[in-house]
Amino acid sequence: MSLDNNISKEIFNELSFSNEEIEIINAVFFRETFKKGTQLLKAGDNVDRQYYIIDGCLRSYHIDTQGREYTVQFGIKDWWMSDYTAFFSNSKAIMNIEVLQDATVYRILDEEKEYLYNQIPKIESFFRKKLERAFAAFQRRILSELSLTAKQRYLNFINSFPNIEKSVKNYHIASYLGITTESLSRIRKELSHK
């Protein structure tokens, strides 16, 4: 087969496609690489695309009126990244997305995603299931924000993202946990004593 089916393999490893389907997939996904520090989305932008991460590390975060940052998500291999609050409602971004470690991603545009779902329904199923898992993860996160102390949330975090500490700064982690970098520092000190 002469067609390039790398994309379909990288994103949909367990699914198999016809040549026509692979052509469609190749046409809607665009491979991009970004350097550490690149800003992929800024609050206020129109959100018309999503990124599927092949390699590297991204984060999405919100900046409040006082300039404080809140990390909503770290994006690593096989995760999707976008400002979902805006993406699903076609409004302006309230999130920022930045590259924490040099990244390779596949980008898909909003309008092409709906086209893709119509052309290849099993891809809609595939993403629906991914979304269900992400939804459940968010529900667990809400619960942990409601019920756990900062220390417990930090321990959960390093459990859930065992290798991420090399890619992200402590203040990124603090902003994900909803605490200050000083508080995280105290927690880390306390844990190192044990």
Enumerate binding residues for a second copy (CB under 8 A). Answer: 62, 64, 68, 70, 72, 84-85, 87-89, 94, 117, 121, 124-125, 127-129, 131-136, 138-143, 145-147, 175, 178
Tokens of 102: 């040099």
Closer to DNA at the Cβ: 20 or 145? 145
Closer to DNA at the Cβ: 189 or 194? 189
Q: Which of 115, 188, 191, 194 binds DNA (CB under 7 A)?
A: 188
Stretch that binds DNA, among 69-77, 111-119, 127-135, 167-175 (CB under 7 A): 167-175
Q: Which of these, 140, 113, 99, 103, lies nearest to 25 by C-alpha position? A: 113
Q: One symbol per residue from 16 to 45: x for binding DNA (CB under 7 A), - otherwise; what is it? A: ------------------------------
* Type of residue at 92: K
- What separation in angstroms does the CA of 190 have from each of 145, 160, 165, 170, 183? 20, 20, 18, 15, 11
The dihedral sign for the CA sequence 172, 63, 31, 121: positive
Size of the site for DNA (CB under 7 A): 18
- 145 binds, options DNA, a second copy, none, Cβ within 5 to 8 A by partner type: a second copy
CB of 33 to DNA, least distance (A): 19
- 35 binds, options DNA, a second copy, none, Cβ within 5 to 8 A by partner type: none
Exposure of 38 by Cβ count < 10 A (0-12 exposed, 13-18 middle, 19+ buried)?
A: middle
- 78: contact with DNA by CB under 7 A: no
Residues pairing with 69 in the sheet: 63
Rg of the chain taking only CA atoms, in angstroms:
18
CB of 116 to DNA, least distance (A): 37
- CA 170, CA 167: separation in Å to the nearest integer? 10
Q: Which helix (H) or strand (E) holds 24?
A: helix 19-28
